[in-house]
Amino acid sequence: RSSDLGLAKGRLIRILDATAVAKAGAYEKKNNGLWRMHCAFELEREQFDFIEITDQSEAELIDRVPVVPGEIRIGDRAYLQAERIAKVMAQGGDVFVRASWKNARWLDANGRAFDLIGYLENCREEVCETPAR
């Protein structure tokens, strides 16, 4: 990997997403049968490095794809799953989820409710940091 990748600093960046495709056949069409294709796209090499096909009973999961330590995973709001994000991070991956801030339950470092908006309104620094989970 090139070392001049800006903030990624040469780390693997993977975009995760899934899509659904209708199953063939009259019975499946009548019962809304779907195939779900779960994918991980490696940004630098511009290729998929993971594809798994399931039926509609399998959800989009941020930890479905094996973790490469040091990687950065990017997913949409379907992947905003705190326990599963924690599993990825415990295996050495970082996670970025594009979702409304209201979709997450914000906790401080001690596990108490964290008022993100209140914190940001009171922050007087150019960059504000605080532990949250």
Please give the pLDDT value at position 7: 57
Residues with Cβ within 8 Å of 33's Cβ and at least 6 positions away in sequence, in order, are: 22, 23, 25, 27, 55, 56
**Span 41-77, pLDDT tens digits:** 999 999 999 999 999 999 999 999 999 999 999 999 9
Tally the C-alpha atoms within 13 A of residue 98's C-alpha that lie toward its C-beta: 7
**Span 91-119, pLDDT tens digits:** 999 999 998 877 888 888 888 888 888 88
CA–CA gap between residue 120 and residue 133 (Å, rounded)? 16
Instruction: Name the DSSP class of 113.
Output: B
As a whole-number percent, the residues of the chain with pLDDT over 70 amount to 94
Tally the C-alpha atoms within 13 A of residue 76's C-alpha that lie toward its C-beta: 7
Give the DSSP H/E element, type plus range, for residue 74. strand 72-76
Q: Is 117 helix (H, G, I), strand (E, B) or coil?
A: helix
Please give the pLDDT value at position 49: 96
Asked whether residue 22 carries a pLDDT value surpassing 80, the answer given is: yes
106 phi and psi angles, rounded to 5 deg: -90, 130
pLDDT band at 1 (very low <50, low <70, confident <90, very high): very low
Over the chain, what is the mean pLDDT? 89
Asked whether residue 18 carries a pLDDT value surpassing 90, the answer given is: yes
Residue of 133, 3, 9 lying closest to 72 (CA atoms): 9
Q: Six-digit token pair at 101?
A: 């801030």
Please give the pLDDT value at position 101: 78
Average pLDDT over residues 111-128: 88
